[in-house]
Amino acid sequence: MNTFVQVVVNGLGKGAVYALLALGFVIIFKASGVLNFAHGSLVLLGGYIVARTQDDLGFLGSAVLGVIAAAAGAVIIERVLVSRRPLADPIALALLTIGVDVVMSEEIIRRLGEEIPFLGSPYDGKPFQIGSVTFFRTNVIALGVGAVLVAAFFLAFRFTPWGVSMRALAENREAAALMGIHRWRVTALAWCVAGALAGVAVLFLATQDFSGAGLSLGTHAIALVAFPAAIVGGLDSTSGAIVGGVIVGLTEALSAQYISFEFSKVAVYMVMLAVLIVAPAGLFGTRERTRV
Amino acid sequence: MSEHALETAAGNRAHALPGRIDPMRWLVRIVLAVAVITPPMYLSDSWLRVGAYVMIGAVAAIGLTLLTGQAGQLSLATPFFMFVGGASYCVLGSPHRPGRWGLGWPSLIAVVGAVLIASVLGLVFAPVAGRVRGVYLGVATLSLVYIGLYTGQKYDSITGGTASGRSVPDLKIFEFSVLRAGHRDERIWYVFLVLTTLAYLLAQGAINSRPGRAWRVVRDNESAAAALGVPVPRVRAEAFAISSGYAGLAGVMTVFWYRLFKPDESEFVGTYSIQVAIAILAMILIGGLGSVAGAIAGAALVNGMPGALNLWFGHSHVFGHGAKAVTPVIFTAFVYGTAIVLVVLFEPGGLAALGRRVQRKLSRNLLGSSLISEGN
């Protein structure tokens, strides 16, 4: 029972990180209709800046700078590349972001060289005990931070002018434009938010507790595990991203504990496949209807 | 993107019009034939290996361009079917040994069997591909890469395990052995040439006839296709199975090339990894989605460049040394990553569209523009 509680808490912590990433996918998909394959590179970019500035600025300063860098990177990708082809086929745009991802990730990994820095120095590798249950501090803090950020996002999405215009855009682009909504400001801000969330996520991803490894190509691969999270929930559902993140985090933690560590990566994708067979647009995604 | 693919199809049909012999096309064909048949006579073995590697990419990319460009289904599963093809060939073609499962079939039959097994697995996945659309399908197919990775690590008796892999049975064509003999790089070159030509002709044939028309109409409008009486799920499944077969063949070629079958240790870097999925996607996109010749050109760029750069500049100071050096592999990744972005932004028809433009210019200069009435 104790192991089970421990596994669930750690799974939820991982789920919170996946939810941050999945929410990023969903926000970008809603704003630009793009499945952003470059999200893993934004994660790496944020992590790289943190690793490079940590000695000078301390953890908090470098973390803030890393988040800003990831957000700025996202905005640049949107402004310079994606916004040039607003009417392009979604698959073409997804491929575009793959191109961006290849260049960015290769360059960052090359710059890291043989270094594999760990990022979460204040909490990483410092387990604590409640009763006879051991928790990873990284996962517990990730759960807290994730919950706060997700709550903040939903409040902003519900009440700020940006959230309202974003929802209006997602609902009907032309009507929103006619009502005087500046499309580019909304989409740029959406990418900015998504990038910032990726910048926060990497502070937990590249740690001993989360993956056992520091910032490397592996971090990029873990960011890809957030794909299933976004897909399970449905690419155009913000609340789906949270549910998807939790499902993926728990699946990974439980299967790693009770089946095998190697199986846990596959298990996540198996769950995604199963969901897609039942609901081809994810659990909360809107199904495209064809009209003749 | 689809209107450009349509343009491709229209272009193909225009050239296939009977009754007109285009001297330019025959000239190009003869030059190409000489260019691919003679290299073993003057190129060194290491260059032949680069060429053979390009042909592996070409076969995989032709399969994917049929699926994605012609039939409109995005797939990242090519490395998985390559994995299946390579593993199946080894299992079918090797004699049974303790700890290594094998059937000991003649190698030619093992090749055919491996391609068939890959296609059948493609059909098994087809119900998913039939239900899931667009980018969702792209991510769904990614799951196959993970399944391949897990299988490779878990079932040593089939895959040989990540540590040692398993040895590849020799390809024997009527007592003529390809892999274990002198001049094997030359032999592999010719075998690959035959396979690639076959892959090219079959794909071109499919595109220009009934199956290709069915793929394109399903890609452009499923409801219209269904209304016209096209069995949409079957057409989608066929495209998936055929493209899996191509990937399976590329997998067999891969194990010939390495002379070893070895499953990957990570999902991201390796012979059957996501990196390979993206590289093959880059080939077909740079070549021009749906174009078979474009897929081959894309393969030459993506698979050929690292080897070529290495042979040209490997010993000079163009590429630095040490952990942070820009190696030919990294440089190639920069080039094709950038090429993907440029293609999507500026020339969605890719190299194929550029090629057609050049061809039109040349024909125009040779024959006078009045004769080229069907050029748009």
Residue of B nearest to A111 (CA): B324
pLDDT of residue B3: 42
A101 touches chain B (CB under 8 A): yes
**pLDDT at residue A3 greater than cutoff 80:** yes
pLDDT of residue B373: 45
pLDDT of residue B129: 84
- Number of Cβ atoms within 10 Å of the Cβ of B236: 27
Q: Which of B293, B349, B350, B351 is nearest to B25 (CA)?
A: B293
Which pair of tokens denotes residue B62? 């032709």
Classify A160 as helix, strand or coil.
Answer: coil
In a mutational test of the A interface, the residue from B131, B145, B285, B341 whose CB has the highest number of chain A CBs within 10 Å is B341
A151 touches chain B (CB under 8 A): no
Distance from CA of A161 to the nearest CA of B (A): 30
pLDDT of residue B19: 55
pLDDT of residue B84: 97
ipTM over 0.85: yes
Q: Residue B177: beta bridge partners?
A: B172
Q: How confident is the model at residue B9 (pLDDT cuts 50, 70, 90)?
A: very low
pLDDT of residue B161: 86
Percent of chain B with pLDDT over 90: 52
Q: What share of chain A is helix, strand, coil (3-state, %, to 5)?
A: 75, 0, 25
A287 touches chain B (CB under 8 A): no
Distance from CA of A198 to the nearest CA of B (A): 19
pLDDT of residue B18: 53
Q: Which of A69-73, A263-267, B6-10, B298-302 is predicted least confidently?
A: B6-10
* Distant-in-sequence, close-in-space partners of B129: CB < 8 Å, separation ≥ 6: B73, B75, B137, B140, B141, B236, B237, B240
Considering CB atoms only, which of A90, A266, A292 is closest to B135?
A: A90
In a mutational test of the A interface, the residue from B150, B266, B305 whose CB has the highest number of chain A CBs within 10 Å is B150
pLDDT of residue B1: 43
Q: How confident is the model at residue B283 (pLDDT cuts 50, 70, 90)?
A: very high
* Distant-in-sequence, close-in-space partners of A239: CB < 8 Å, separation ≥ 6: A154, A233, A284
**pLDDT at residue B370 greater than cutoff 50:** no
**Residue spans of alpha helices (H) in chain B:** 2-15, 23-37, 39-42, 45-64, 78-93, 107-131, 134-154, 156-159, 161-164, 184-208, 210-220, 222-227, 232-258, 274-287, 292-313, 328-346, 350-367
Instruction: Tell me the C-alpha distance between A139 and A5, whole Å.
Output: 13
Q: How confident is the model at residue A291 (pLDDT cuts 50, 70, 90)?
A: low
pLDDT of residue B11: 44
**pLDDT at residue B368 greater than cutoff 60:** no
Residue B161 backbone class (left: φ over 0; alpha: ψ -120 to 50; beta: rest): left
pLDDT of residue A183: 82
CA atoms within 13 A of residue B232's CA, in its CB half-sphere: 18
pLDDT tens for residues A136-180?
A: 889 889 999 999 999 999 999 889 988 888 888 877 777 887 888
pLDDT of residue A130: 83
Region A200-207: mean pLDDT is: 92
Burial A12-22 (b: 16+ CB within 10 A, else e): bbbbbbbbbbb
Distance from CA of B70 to the nearest CA of A (A): 14
A84 touches chain B (CB under 8 A): yes
Considering CB atoms only, which of B138, B146, B227 is closest to A269?
A: B146
**pLDDT at residue B196 greater than cutoff 50:** yes
Region A178-197: mean pLDDT is: 89
Instruction: Tell me the C-alpha distance between B94 and A144, whole Å.
Output: 55
- Number of Cβ atoms within 10 Å of the Cβ of A170: 19
The amino acid sitting at A32 is S
Which pair of tokens denotes residue B272? 């059957």
Looking only at the bridges linking them, the beta strands covering B176-177 and B172-173 are antiparallel
pLDDT of residue B131: 85
Instruction: Tell me the C-alpha distance between B210 and B231, whole Å.
Output: 13
Considering CB atoms only, which of B150, B336, B341 is closest to A262?
A: B150
Q: Which of B280, B281, B262, B303 is nearest to B149 (CA)?
A: B262
Burial label, A246 (beta-carbon count in 10 A; 0-12, 13-18, 19+) = buried
Contacts of A32 in chain B (CB under 8 A): none
Instruction: Tell me the C-alpha distance between B152 and B150, whole Å.
Output: 5
> Over chain B, what is the mean pLDDT?
86
pLDDT tens for residues B302-348?
A: 999 989 988 888 766 777 777 678 888 889 899 999 999 998 888 87
Q: Which of B8, B6, B3 is nearest to B353 (CA)?
A: B8
CA B314, B316, B318, B322 torsion-angle sign: positive
Q: Which of A23-32, B115-124, B173-182 is predicted least confidently?
A: B173-182
* Distant-in-sequence, close-in-space partners of A164: CB < 8 Å, separation ≥ 6: none
- pLDDT winner (highest mean) among A100-109, A133-142, B156-165: A100-109
Q: How confident is the model at residue B13 (pLDDT cuts 50, 70, 90)?
A: very low
Percent of chain A with pLDDT over 70: 98
Q: Which of A188, A289, A173, A286 is nearest to A238 (CA)?
A: A286
* Distant-in-sequence, close-in-space partners of A285: CB < 8 Å, separation ≥ 6: A233, A234, A235, A236, A237, A240, A279
Q: How many CB pairs under 8 A join A and B?
A: 143
Burial label, A50 (beta-carbon count in 10 A; 0-12, 13-18, 19+) = buried
Instruction: Tell me the C-alpha distance between B258 and B267, whole Å.
Output: 19
A212 touches chain B (CB under 8 A): no
pLDDT of residue B116: 97
> Over chain A, what is the mean pLDDT?
89
Contacts of B264 in chain A (CB under 8 A): none
Which pair of tokens denotes residue B229? 């009486």
Q: Residue A129: beta bridge partners?
A: A134
Considering CB atoms only, which of A90, A98, A110 is closest to B324?
A: A110
In a mutational test of the B interface, the residue from A28, A109, A237, A269 whose CB has the highest number of chain B CBs within 10 Å is A269
Considering CB atoms only, which of B1, B278, B336 is closest to A89?
A: B1
Which pair of tokens denotes residue A16? 């919170």
Q: How confident is the model at residue B211 (pLDDT cuts 50, 70, 90)?
A: very high
Q: Which of A23-27, A220-224, B220-224, B252-256 is predicted least confidently?
A: A220-224
Contacts of B290 in chain A (CB under 8 A): none
Residue of A nearest to B145 (CA): A266
pLDDT tens for residues B55-95?
A: 999 999 999 999 999 999 999 999 999 999 999 999 999 99
Q: How confident is the model at residue B252 (pLDDT cuts 50, 70, 90)?
A: very high
Residue of B nearest to A223 (CA): B268
Q: How confident is the model at residue A289 (pLDDT cuts 50, 70, 90)?
A: low
Instruction: Tell me the C-alpha distance between A111 and A51, whole Å.
Output: 12
